[in-house]
């Protein structure tokens, strides 16, 4: 009888634990889904105003698009890890693939007085830049050439440094995009977020380069928008 009671208690504990774990996973999923929704919104607005947004030509040339919505100034200055965002990279057919979550952190991001948070968009312009994303972490400017991106209707105003950079970056605050230097900022894959979102540990290479990870339905809208803004002429 005592053994039966113990067994019943163990089973009851297990039944109570499963919903709790499921809820925890749902909370984690919700956090990443909200990040994707915010990233898609920032991406749409980056091309919505041709005279004040990011040139479409640069999106078309990019191999990967990274969006870090609502990066907090205080997190950069005090905590060191200021932004959580997402990257998607081009597949062989030209469309963008499944997203991988990343973090960026460092001393500053070119903050203006009175600005407490900003959206940050990065374009990886060549395969060398893509390879940097696959590292455990790397420093922008030191390990990958970077430049503040041009703003306007087209990319004709870009300097040689911008045209040859592996990474171009912009920051948006108060509705306006501007080129932002991210030199010194450290970027790394957010392994915990990727594991939460995909339900298992998965590395950035499998997601962004091998394209061996199926895109979840909750990420398809973001990926579709990224594909639309970066579509190359046939």
Regarding pTM above 0.75, the answer is yes
Q: Is 16 exposed, middle or buried (0-12, 13-18, 19+ CB in 10 A)?
A: exposed
**Residue 224, pLDDT score:** 97
Q: Look-up: residue for tokens 């089973």?
A: 11
pLDDT mean over 94-109: 84
Averaged pLDDT of the chain: 78
* C-alpha–C-alpha distance, residues 225 and 17, integer Å: 38
Q: What is the mean pLDDT of residues 85-106?
A: 93
Question: Radius of gyration (Cα) for the chain, nearest Å?
Answer: 20
The answer to whether residues 35 and 87 touch, using CB atoms and an 8 Å cutoff, is no
For the chain, give the percent of residues with pLDDT over 70. Answer: 70
Residue 168 pLDDT > 80: yes
Cα–Cα dist 180/133, whole Å: 19
In our burial notation (b when 16+ CB lie closer than 10 A, e otherwise), range 153-168 reads eebeebeeebeebbbb
- pLDDT given at position 222: 97
For 203-222, b/e burial (b = at least 16 CB within 10 A) is bbbbbbbebebebbeebeeb
pLDDT exceeds 50 at position 197? yes
At residue 216, the pLDDT reads 94
Please give the pLDDT value at position 125.
93
The confidence band for 25, taking pLDDT boundaries of 50, 70 and 90, is very low
pLDDT at position 63 is 96
> In a 10 Å sphere around its CB, with 0-12 CB exposed, 13-18 middle and 19+ buried, how is residue 123 labelled?
buried
Binning pLDDT at 50, 70 and 90, where does residue 209 land?
very high
**Domain boundaries along the sequence of the chain:** 40-230
Residue pLDDT, tens place only, 127-165: 999 998 888 888 887 878 888 787 776 666 566 667 788
- Rounded to the nearest 5 degrees, what angle is found at the Cα of 171, between the Cα atoms of 169 and 174? 165
Q: Which residue has the higher pLDDT, 148 or 174?
A: 148
**Cβ contact 135:209 at 8 Å:** no
Token code pair at residue 51: 């005279």
Tell me the C-alpha to C-alpha distance, in Å, between residue 174 and each of 26, 115, 138, 177, 217: 32, 8, 29, 9, 31
Q: Lowest mean pLDDT: which of 52-66, 149-163, 191-205?
A: 149-163
Contact 185, 104 (CB under 8 A): yes
């Amino acid at each position: 009888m005592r053994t039966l009671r113990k067994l019943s208690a163990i089973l009851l504990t297990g039944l109570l634990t499963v919903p709790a774990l499921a809820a925890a996973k749902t909370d984690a999923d919700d956090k990443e889904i909200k990040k994707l929704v915010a990233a898609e919104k920032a991406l749409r607005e980056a091309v919505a105003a041709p005279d004040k947004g990011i040139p479409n030509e640069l999106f078309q040339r990019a191999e990967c698009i990274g969006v870090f919505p609502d990066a907090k100034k205080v997190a950069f200055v005090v905590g060191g890890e200021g932004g959580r965002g997402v990257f998607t990279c081009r597949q062989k057919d030209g469309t963008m693939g499944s997203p991988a979550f990343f973090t960026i952190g460092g001393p500053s991001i070119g903050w203006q007085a009175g600005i407490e948070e900003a959206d940050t968009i990065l374009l990886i312009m060549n395969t060398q830049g893509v390879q940097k994303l696959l590292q455990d972490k790397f420093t922008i400017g030191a390990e990958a050439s970077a430049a503040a991106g041009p703003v306007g209707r087209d990319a004709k105003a870009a300097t040689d440094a911008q045209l040859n950079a592996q990474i171009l970056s912009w920051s948006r605050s108060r509705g306006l995009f501007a080129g932002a230097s991210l030199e010194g900022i450290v970027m790394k894959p957010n392994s915990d977020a990727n594991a939460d979102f995909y339900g298992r540990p998965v590395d950035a290479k499998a997601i962004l380069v091998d394209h061996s990870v199926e895109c979840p339905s909750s990420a398809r809208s973001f990926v579709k928008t990224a594909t639309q803004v970066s579509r190359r002429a046939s």
